[in-house]
C-alpha cells in the first residue's frame, strides 16, 4: 500500500487547492483494500476512518484482531491502540488466530495509552512519533475508555467532533492507515439506528464506513460463532453496492458475515463471508434444504473430506446460499470440519442429509 502523502503542520490549509486532477479525471475515488470477504470484496478504505459498533459479546474486538492477524501475516504493519484489554490477552488471541510470532514482533505495534496525547512532553513526543509511522490498519479498541482518558463527554457533539479530528482522523491522514474504532451501541434496539452510544457526531467524523455487528450464532470455545456486519454509512460509496437487502428500520444492509470456528483446541479459524440473502435474514426457520441435500450428496459421492471450494463446484446455487447450507449441515451435526493444507478447512460427512431434524421447516 502506498502511504498517503503526509501534510506538514505548517502547510496552510486555507490556501486554494489545485483542482486540475479533479477536472481532468485523473483523481481516483477511494477504493477499499482491507477486510477482504471470501469473494474478494473489501470493506476498509486506506487513509479513512471507520467504526465497528455492537453490543457486548458481539465479537467486535475479535473481528479487529482477526483482521490484524491477517494483515501482519501478509507483512502489513498494524497499529493497535488498546484502551480495554492488555498485551497478553491481545497477543494470545492473535496467536490463536494464526498470526506468526515473528510477524507479530515485526509488524504489530501495540499501544496502551493512559494519558492525553498532549498531557505531558513525553506523551506529545510519543504521539508525534506514532504519526510518523506507516500502517495498513489502525485499531482503536474501546472508544468509551478512550473518552475517559481524554476527558471527552460522550454526549457532547463538540467534544466528540474534536476527538475525531485529534486522534482517528489524524492517524488516518498522517499514516495512511484504514482506522477502525470499536464502540458500543445502546442496549435497547428501539431508536438505536445506525449509531454508536453517545453523541451523533460519532457518525459524522467517520470518513470511511460504519459497520454494526449483530450476533447470528454466539462464539466460544468449541463453538462456531457467526456475526453479521451491517453497513450503516459508506461515505465513498464503494461498499454498499456489494451489500444485501435494505433494512428500513435502521437504514442498514448486511455486508458480510464473520465466522469464528473454535472447534479445534487452541485455534480460531476465521473467515469473512458474503452476506446472506433476504430470505435468510427474514426468519430463523428458513433453511436452504435443497442446497443442503446437494452438498451432502457431493461429500457422499467423493467419499473423502472436501474443501468449501470443492463442495461449491458440485452444487447449484448462489455462493451465499451454498455457504449457509454448509454452515447449517455443520450446526446440525451432518458435517464436521478439520484443518486442511494451506489454511484450508476440510468438511467430513458424518450423517447424510436429509434427516428427521428438519421436518416441518420451510424449504427453498
| The predicted structure's pLDDT at residue 24 | 84
What is the chain's alpha carbon radius of gyration, rounded to the nearest angstrom? Answer: 22
Tell me how far apart the alpha carbons of residues 97 and 215 are, in angstroms, rounded to a whole number: 19
Residue 361 has pLDDT above 50, yes or no: no
Least confident of 10-19, 84-93, 302-311: 10-19
Q: Is the C-alpha dihedral spanning 141, 142, 147, 148 positive or negative?
A: negative
Average pLDDT, integer, range 48-67 = 95
CA distance 201 to 195: 9
User: Coil, strand or helix: which one is 205?
Assistant: coil
* 211-262 per-position pLDDT tens digit: 999 999 999 899 999 999 999 999 999 999 999 988 888 889 999 999 999 9
What is the dotted CATH code of the domain comprising 282-358? 1.10.10.10
User: How do residues 261-318 score in pLDDT, each as one tens digit?
Assistant: 999 999 999 999 999 875 445 444 556 788 888 999 999 999 999 998 899 889 887 7
Assigned C-alpha cell, 276:
446472506
pLDDT(75) > 50: yes
* Of 324 and 120, more confident: 120
Q: What are the boundaries of each domain within the chain?
A: 34-212, 282-358
Instruction: Give pLDDT, residue 204.
Output: 81
Please tell me the predicted confidence (pLDDT) of residue 10: 56
Q: The whole model's pTM is what?
A: 0.73
DSSP 236-305: S-SSGGG---EETTTTEEEEEEEEEE--STT--EEEEEPPP-HHHHH-TT---HHHHHHHHHHHHHHTS-
Residue 201's pLDDT band (cuts 50, 70, 90) = low
Question: What does the mean pLDDT of the chain come to?
Answer: 86
CA angle, 252 then 253 then 258, to 5°: 115
Confidence of residue 11 (pLDDT cuts 50, 70, 90): low
**Topology of domain 34-212, per CATH?**
Rossmann fold (3.40.50)
Residue 18 has pLDDT above 60, yes or no: yes
C-alpha 312/C-alpha 294 separation (Å) is: 9
| Residue 211 parent element (H or E) | strand 209-217
Amino acid at each position: 500500500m502506498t502511504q498517503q502523502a503526509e501534510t506538514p503542520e505548517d502547510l496552510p490549509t486555507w490556501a486554494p487547492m489545485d483542482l486540475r486532477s479533479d477536472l481532468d479525471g485523473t483523481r481516483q475515488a477511494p477504493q477499499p483494500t482491507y477486510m477482504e470477504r471470501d469473494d474478494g470484496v473489501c470493506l476498509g478504505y486506506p487513509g479513512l476512518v471507520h467504526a465497528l459498533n455492537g453490543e457486548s459479546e458481539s465479537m467486535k474486538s475479535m473481528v479487529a484482531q482477526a483482521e490484524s492477524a491477517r494483515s501482519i501475516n501478509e507483512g502489513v504493519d498494524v497499529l493497535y491502540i488498546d484502551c480495554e484489554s492488555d498485551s497478553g490477552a491481545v497477543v494470545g488471541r492473535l496467536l490463536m488466530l494464526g498470526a506468526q510470532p515473528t510477524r507479530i514482533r515485526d509488524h504489530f505495534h501495540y499501544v496502551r495509552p493512559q494519558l492525553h496525547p498532549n498531557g505531558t512532553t513525553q506523551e506529545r513526543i510519543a504521539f508525534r512519533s506514532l504519526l510518523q509511522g506507516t500502517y495498513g490498519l489502525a485499531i482503536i479498541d474501546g472508544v468509551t475508555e478512550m473518552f475517559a482518558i481524554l476527558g471527552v463527554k460522550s454526549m457532547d457533539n463538540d467534544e466528540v467532533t474534536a476527538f475525531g479530528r485529534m486522534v482517528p482522523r489524524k492517524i488516518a491522514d498522517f499514516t495512511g492507515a484504514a482506522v477502525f474504532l470499536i464502540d458500543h451501541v445502546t442496549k435497547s434496539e428501539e431508536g438505536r439506528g445506525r449509531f454508536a452510544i453517545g453523541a451523533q457526531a460519532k457518525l459524522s467524523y467517520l470518513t470511511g464506513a460504519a459497520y454494526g455487528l449483530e450476533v447470528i450464532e454466539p462464539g466460544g470455545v468449541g463453538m462456531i460463532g457467526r456475526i453479521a456486519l451491517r453497513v450503516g454509512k459508506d461515505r465513498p460509496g464503494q461498499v454498499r453496492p456489494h451489500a444485501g437487502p435494505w433494512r428500513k428500520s435502521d437504514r442498514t444492509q448486511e455486508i458480510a458475515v464473520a465466522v469464528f470456528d473454535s472447534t479445534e483446541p487452541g485455534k480460531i479459524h476465521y473467515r469473512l463471508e458474503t452476506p446472506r440473502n433476504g430470505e435468510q435474514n427474514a426468519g430463523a426457520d428458513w433453511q436452504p434444504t435443497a442446497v443442503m441435500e446437494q452438498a451432502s450428496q457431493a461429500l457422499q459421492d467423493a467419499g473423502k473430506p472436501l474443501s468449501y471450494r470443492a463442495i461449491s463446484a458440485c452444487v447449484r446455487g448462489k455462493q451465499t446460499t451454498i455457504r449457509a447450507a454448509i454452515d447449517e449441515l455443520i450446526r446440525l451435526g451432518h458435517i464436521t470440519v478439520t484443518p486442511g493444507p494451506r489454511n484450508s478447512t476440510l468438511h467430513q460427512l458424518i450423517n447424510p442429509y436429509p434427516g428427521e431434524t428438519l421436518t416441518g421447516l420451510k424449504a427453498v
